Structure 1
């Protein structure tokens, strides 16, 4: 029996300007918005990060564990392909370093006001959601998003910066590149135009060489 094609729900993707606007609108932890938007980590992966997981010289963060809310807090180890080293932009380095300053290697980097695990449920309801509404009032193109949608934003911005499907796969911790293409195929449509343009340039170059050669 032939199964119908899987359909994905509409997702909200932020532009660089909208990421900056959202980070400016939240009243706590703007670094969370920027970090998730430019690394693509899941919330639980971000919330579990310790000082020792950051390599500030290489601008890499090592994802090796996760924490989720299920009644209480459940700590786990990601699947093999989800363990990864993810780069972060140099523009985030100073604020990340400030979060870690003076802390022990095993201390959490992103915490709530009491120094505990930063919970998605609290942050989304009290901080993130209200900030999204503020942004939507100022920008009628601003989408309705959740913190998890910042993962999709990261994929979109990475592709727009020239990342290929394998790079996005590694960044997001997908098991296979086919999974990345299945979820984000629309991001790579512009690549087809680039391929066509490059082929056209090659054809014209070859034709020019032939004309030049024939004149000799």
Structure 2
């Protein structure tokens, strides 16, 4: 579609740039760059909004595409929910799986178009989790589009992604393996013990700042998590309290830092993890720590609601979610059931 005179233009700059697309307007006979963008869609959205504000121009007959909805929704969703960086990366990955939909007007996309994306992913043997993330993104985008009256139906609940068949089911650490961790002298073994006695996700541990640890009252405050239910307080188990206190004396802002005070990212932590697993002759994933905590709390007869609070799981029961409150003393009683 030809754009009206004075609407500005979008150009792609040469070279290896992080934001290669630029929106330019003509002023006094010269083109002036207004803003730079990573993608052309982002530039086109900005161009449309710029002209609505500055020139009162709109493109006649323009239909909002799937990609445009994504780039309008994401900043709003991030501002409102403050998701973890890994969650935002998952949104972008799911969006890339929907490449066939990017240029389609979202109001014209039907159930069969969305299901075709899922079916292609399953045919390519992508994981159940990947399919679920795509369905989740579609649901979020259609919900956003419905609120702004761009579409009138959310097809996401109808999408079929099959059954979850884990390639490698999670398994808890054995008592012997936990004992070997206590005897392990490899640097970083204390971090794994913290995971095994708190139920934290790895991402939560890596993002944990020292200011969110209260040694006097012995609790950890999780402020960054992949879910809203993950924002919580976890009592510090007596056995790992000395490990946490020692880490508090080390350099750096984050609890888990290297000798120079630099925080660990997930890749560096996985290298550390593999080295320690080799040392104790075990084969586990990082998520097996949470599975271990859940299993041990179950075996010890922990209160179900307290267990969910500790692990940061959402409750499906309205009574538990709204009317039942577990204070720090009750949570501490539950966490001490871990031996």
TM range (shorter): 0.5 to 0.7
Q: Report if aligned partners of 1:13, 1:152 keep a CA contact under 8 Å in 2.
A: yes
Number of the residue aligned with 2:227: 79
Partner Cα separation in structure 1 for residue 276 and residue 211 of structure 2: 31
1:168 aligns with 2:298: no
Number of the residue aligned with 2:269: 123
Deviations along 1:75-114, one digit per CA (max 9) or x if unpaired, are xxx533110001221121122112113768xx21111233
Q: Report if aligned partners of 1:112, 1:119 keep a CA contact under 8 Å in 2.
A: no
Tell me the SS of whatever aligns to 2:234.
strand
Q: Report if aligned partners of 2:256, 2:263 keep a CA contact under 8 Å in 1.
A: yes
Number of the residue aligned with 1:98: 246
The Cα shift of 1:35 comes to 0.3
TM-score, reference length from structure 2: 0.41
Partner Cα separation in structure 2 for residue 36 and residue 7 of structure 1: 26
Partner Cα separation in structure 2 for residue 92 and residue 133 of structure 1: 22
Deviations along 1:152-198, one digit per CA (max 9) or x if unpaired, are 112122222321322221111112257xxxxxxxxxxxxxxxxxxxx
Unaligned runs of 5+ in 1: 67-77, 137-141, 179-216
Superposed CA RMSD in Å reads 2.7
Partner Cα separation in structure 2 for residue 19 and residue 120 of structure 1: 22
Q: Report if aligned partners of 2:172, 2:288 keep a CA contact under 8 Å in 1.
A: yes
Work out which of the residue numbers 224, 234, 237 in structure 2 matches 1:89. 237
Q: How does 1:151-166 map to 2 (within 5 A)?
A: 151-166=290-305
Q: Report if aligned partners of 2:171, 2:288 keep a CA contact under 8 Å in 1.
A: yes
Q: Could you say which structure has the higher helix fraction?
A: 1
Partner Cα separation in structure 1 for residue 210 and residue 243 of structure 2: 13
TM-score, reference length from structure 1: 0.62
Distance 1:162 1:36, change over 3 A: same
Q: How does 1:106-117 map to 2 (within 5 A)?
A: 107-117=253-263
The Cα shift of 1:54 comes to 1.2
Work out which of the residue numbers 203, 208, 222 in structure 2 matches 1:49. 208
- The structure, 1 or 2, with the larger RCO (C-alpha pairs under 8 Å, 6+ apart) is 1
The count of aligned residue pairs is 158
Unaligned runs of 5+ in 2: 1-157, 318-339
The Cα shift of 1:117 comes to 1.6
1:146 aligns with 2:294: no
Larger radius of gyration: 2
Number of the residue aligned with 2:132: none
